[in-house]
Amino acid sequence: MVSNLEKMANKLSIRLIPEVHRLDGATTMAAHEFLTTLGKPALLISHFEPGTVTFGKGVSFDSLPEVCRNGNIPFVRRETGGEILYHDPRDITYGFAAVPESSKIDVTRAMLLVMSWLMDGLDSLGMRTLTNLDGSIFVKEANGYRKIGGNAVKKDVNKPYLIHGSIFYDYPDFPLLEKVYGARTEELRKVITCMREQRDVPIGAAYAAIRYGFSEGGRKLVEEPFSEQEWSEIRELASKYQSITHAKGRGKHGKVCATTWTNERERRRFMPPQLDGRTIYD
């Protein structure tokens, strides 16, 4: 099954929020949700400020690491799926709102399609990226693969949906990651990389590469900043994400920083042609 987004991909006109904002966790999630109310494709690139842990809507509050629950690191629940991830202020975060779809399969395929655009952007800098078909983007190296970014999607049927994620731009604060992920630095270095480790590019070039990925192939980016009225609506939405009731919610036990997905054969059913030959399973 081909998604509507895939059919329209090379004809899309995407509203680009031109400024790269630094937003706290609640405002980031609110801005991403607001994109879905615009009625047309839209892209926001930003950074979390301060560094924040996000966790998927299906993950229980009790799964958060102690450094979050004791108040040392801010946290916010996403409206999308996925596991527990720390967002460094230097990570490049994006939110992309897309057209409504009619089935879960379409939405999953659309997420993989958008991931291919991100991979095109990273590859334009001379990297060799692949995916595990479950939201993670890896860089292929001589000794295997290391994760350079992750993505998640909101799968509400027949509603505008959200695809968002982060690309690791700079070297992370490994002592802090040890506290979040409960793993030693030497183990984390084996599974995590960043753009500057792969290609020491300035941050402006990194933004440009991501925008290139979203515009390559005929898609058009039209710059249009958020208006004051739109910012007012985003701030109002942010109050929901600041609520401890929203953070606690309900959910199952979650893991941190997932980097693999076991049911590769099933997920391949949803793979768009753009990812053919671009997975860690090929």
Domain presence at residue 280 = no
Q: What is the pLDDT of residue 156?
A: 74
| CA–CA distance, 225 with 49 (Å, rounded to integer) | 20
| CA–CA distance, 160 with 169 (Å, rounded to integer) | 29
The DSSP code for 256 is B
In sequence order, the 6+-apart residues with CB closer than 8 A to the CB of 59 are 77, 83, 84, 251, 252, 253, 254
Give, for all 282 residues of the chain, the pLDDT tens digit: 566 788 888 889 999 999 999 999 999 999 999 999 998 999 999 999 999 999 998 899 999 999 998 999 999 999 998 889 999 999 999 999 987 666 666 788 889 999 999 999 999 999 999 999 989 999 999 988 999 999 999 877 667 889 999 999 999 999 999 999 999 999 999 999 999 999 999 999 999 999 999 999 899 999 999 999 999 999 999 999 999 888 887 777 777 765 555 567 778 888 999 999 999 988
Q: What is the pLDDT of residue 260?
A: 56
Q: What is the pLDDT of residue 146?
A: 95
Q: What is the pLDDT of residue 81?
A: 86
Q: What is the pLDDT of residue 157?
A: 65
CA 249 to chain centre: 22
Which residue segment(s) compose the domain that 167 sits in?
4-275
CATH number of the domain within which 9 lies: 3.30.930.10
The DSSP code for 227 is P
Domain count, the chain: 1
Domain presence at residue 77 = yes
Domain presence at residue 54 = yes
Cross-strand pairs, 85? 54
The DSSP code for 79 is S
Structure tokens that stand for 177 in this block: 């990651």
Domain presence at residue 10 = yes
Domain presence at residue 281 = no
pLDDT tens-place string over residues 12-34? 999 999 999 999 999 999 999 99
In sequence order, the 6+-apart residues with CB closer than 8 A to the CB of 112 are 131, 133, 270, 271, 272, 275
Residue type, 68: C
Domain presence at residue 282 = no
Q: What is the pLDDT of residue 73?
A: 95
- Name the nearest CA neighbour of 57 among 149, 152, 132, 163: 152
Reported pTM: 0.94
Domain presence at residue 237 = yes
